[in-house]
Amino acid sequence: MVELKTARGLWPLSVLAFCQVLAACVSTPPVIVSDPVPAPIVSAPTPEPVVAPPVRTAILISNDTPGYQVVANKIAQRLSEDEHRIFNLDGNPANGSRVLKKLAEFAPDQLIAVGLLAATTGRQMPELPMIFCRVFNYQDHDLISPTSAGVKLLPPFALQLQAWTTLAPDLQTIGIITGPGQDDLITEITAAARQFDIEILSRSVRTDKGTLFEFKRLVPLIQGFWILPDNRILSVPVLKELMAYGIKHDKQIVVFNEKLLKFGALLSVTSNDADVADQVVNLLRENPFGGTAARPRMTPLTDMRIELNTQVAQELGLITTPQFNRFLPAN
């Protein structure tokens, strides 16, 4: 037995009871609480990438002549990642309804029209965004709209004049004849000519006979003549007579098609097919699903192809130089 001394005296305790009292008197050691283990961070699921729906492009050509077919093929090559299909009007306006029905079944998001017939036919679906090319008189057919824009037919006039004046540095006056409604074109050509100190004398006519009449009146006043592809005021007989008259009077004539060189033209200046395709596709890439209201009315080209009639150059006393030859095709 042990005794526990208290204020009232000694109290006998058993060993077990004593141990219990002792344990109660000993300070309880502090309980160390560990920091809580943070819950694992669960990342938000990675969103699936947004994949744009495939773009369907219809390419409508007026006919399968090389001037249209080659450009259409080059455009198709540049659209290799998008679904596309070429439709052909075969040069016949009567085919429009049938071809447009097939085009509608294809359900395109956008349309590329190559040639005037293709562009005017394509406008029968005005809700479909359209880019047109290989068209000169687009103003006559209201081809510019909030859902339609174009690529110019002719290479930049400043670029053409750079080549022309390299061959003929003494060139000072050029005559131009157009049909009605080409004021913007004449302004553009005049501005380009001003860079080379060249005067532009322009006339507007309504018929091919008017073209020949005005050309003969211009001949005493000009050194060169620019024939533009305005089919409203040109015909094959008039072209032949005009160039024969120009050769007789030693005029430098620049044409828009290399096939006209054989009639006595000095130079032919045409667009580069690859450049046309590039500018068309660039327009599409700017806004493939929307309208074309924010796009330029007509997008300029950046390149050209020149052919020289060496016989006419010799007859006119013009000497080709390395500076001029760099404008000619490599092949």
> Mind listing the pLDDT tens digit for each residue in 293-317?
455 578 999 999 999 999 999 999 9
pLDDT on residue 284? 86
Side chain identity at residue 73, one-letter code: N
Render 129-196 in DSSP notation, one character per residue: -EEEES-S-GGGGT--BTTEEEE-SSPPHHHHHHHHHHH-TT--EEEEEE-TT-HHHHHHHHHHHHTT
Partners of 56 in the β-ladder: 83
> Mind listing the pLDDT tens digit for each residue in 237-281?
999 999 999 999 999 999 999 999 999 999 999 999 999 999 999
Q: Distance between CA atoms of 101 and 60, rounded to whole angstroms?
A: 12
Q: CA of 287: how far to CAs of 55, 59, 295, 319, in Å? A: 11, 17, 9, 47
CATH class as words, domain 56-153+273-299: alpha beta
- State how far Cα 288 lies from the chain centre: 11
Instruction: Kindly list the domain boundaries of the chain, sorted by start residue.
Output: 56-153+273-299, 157-270+304-325
Architecture in CATH for domain 157-270+304-325: 3-Layer(aba) Sandwich (3.40)
Residue at token pair 């998001």? 109
Going by the DSSP 8-state scheme, the letter that residue 81 receives in this structure is T
Render 184-243 in DSSP notation, one character per residue: HHHHHHHHHHHTTT-EEEEEE-SSHHHHHHHHHHHGGG-SEEE----TTS--HHHHHHHH
Q: CA of 34: how far to CAs of 30, 38, 153, 236, in Å? A: 12, 12, 81, 101
Angle at 215 between CA 213 and CA 216, to 5 degrees: 70
Token pair of 21, please? Answer: 């009292």
Confidence check: pLDDT of 4 > 90 = no
Strands 2-6 and 9-13: antiparallel
> Mind listing the pLDDT tens digit for each residue in 123-161?
999 999 999 999 999 999 999 988 899 999 999 999 999
56-153+273-299 matches 157-270+304-325 in fold? yes
